[in-house]
Amino acid sequence: MYMNSSWKEVKQKLKDLIEASQISDHEAIRKAGLSRSTYYQLFDPDRVDSPMHKSTVFALAKALNHHAKYVDGIPRFSPILALQPYAAAKYVQDAINVGVALTGSLWQLSQKSKIDISHLRTIMDAPPGAQIDIAALNALDNVINQIDLEKDLKARESSPVANPEMAKDRQTNHSVAASGGLVQNSDKLNTISDTGLRQLITEENLKKYNISDTERSELSMISHNRNSQTTLEHWVSVLFTLRALEKK
């Protein structure tokens, strides 16, 4: 694994990987799902040592067939030695949990992903280490990314900048809704039955993984929607999946 010690080295490493991959900037942008402005700002000489968003780091690493792992706040890259036709069931199950949280139900996720609902249920019942066709994970990732993009576009269309006359009312309504949501989610946090999730939200792990109140609420909703009972490692994976989906 290449040892980067600064963001300047990270960006130089990414440049080297792009050159070694013999792909154009356009192809790198397309594979990573980035906008042209975001991509070129990364390598702007005036921003050479500015940090990158995690979602951008992981997207570029994946596009360049590399793993990215953060050590002391700096990403380090290692090549994916072989593209496997299968994924461990636990990773596909994590994607299903996120997809259900975004779509509202397993049926809705089945409709959007074009994966038969019976197959989704079979995957959820499989042992964590079971091999699942990678096509299922790719289909789920595509649905999650599409929903995330649609939400981002809607947020932009309804932003106070686009509709200044609605800004004041939106701020008031958001405050009321947020306070109500905190009360509801607080009740759910107090009734979590999933052993793995209870371990994750201990004071020690909240500090270890820097988990916010919003993230605790999101994880709690996933657990309640699925009536889950799984491990600490499973929930850590779900946590990082949610963070990877966040658009900065």
Residue 193 is predicted with a pLDDT of: 81
**Cα radius of gyration rounded to whole Å, the chain:** 20
Cα 27 from Cα 34, distance rounded (Å):
10
Across 3-12, 64-73, 111-120, 239-248, least confident range: 239-248
Cα 140 from Cα 91, distance rounded (Å):
11
Question: Domain spanning 7-79: which CATH class is it, in words?
Answer: mainly alpha
Percent pLDDT > 90 in the chain is 17
| pLDDT above 80 (res 183) | no
Cα within 13 Å of Cα(54), Cβ side = 12
| pLDDT above 90 (res 119) | yes
DSSP designation for 202: S
Pairing status of strand 86-88 against strand 66-71: unpaired
Residue 174 is predicted with a pLDDT of: 43
Residue 173 is predicted with a pLDDT of: 47
Contact yes or no for 172/160 (Cβ under 8 A): no
Contact yes or no for 132/105 (Cβ under 8 A): no
| pLDDT above 70 (res 223) | yes
Contact yes or no for 245/94 (Cβ under 8 A): no
Residue 69 bridge partners (DSSP): 76
Instruction: Enter the pTM of the model.
Output: 0.36
- Confidence band for 96, pLDDT divided at 50, 70 and 90: very high
Cα 16 from Cα 224, distance rounded (Å):
45
Across 5-14, 24-33, 76-85, 88-97, least confident range: 76-85
pLDDT mean across residues, the chain: 79
Amino acid at 70: Y
| pLDDT above 90 (res 129) | no
Cα 152 from Cα 180, distance rounded (Å):
23
Higher pLDDT, 163 or 60: 60
Pairing status of strand 131-133 against strand 74-79: unpaired
Residue 159 is predicted with a pLDDT of: 58
- Confidence band for 248, pLDDT divided at 50, 70 and 90: very low
| Cβ contacts of 7 within 8 Å, gap of 6 or more | 48, 49, 50, 51, 52, 74
State the average pLDDT over residues 125-134: 89
Cα 69 from Cα 73, distance rounded (Å):
9
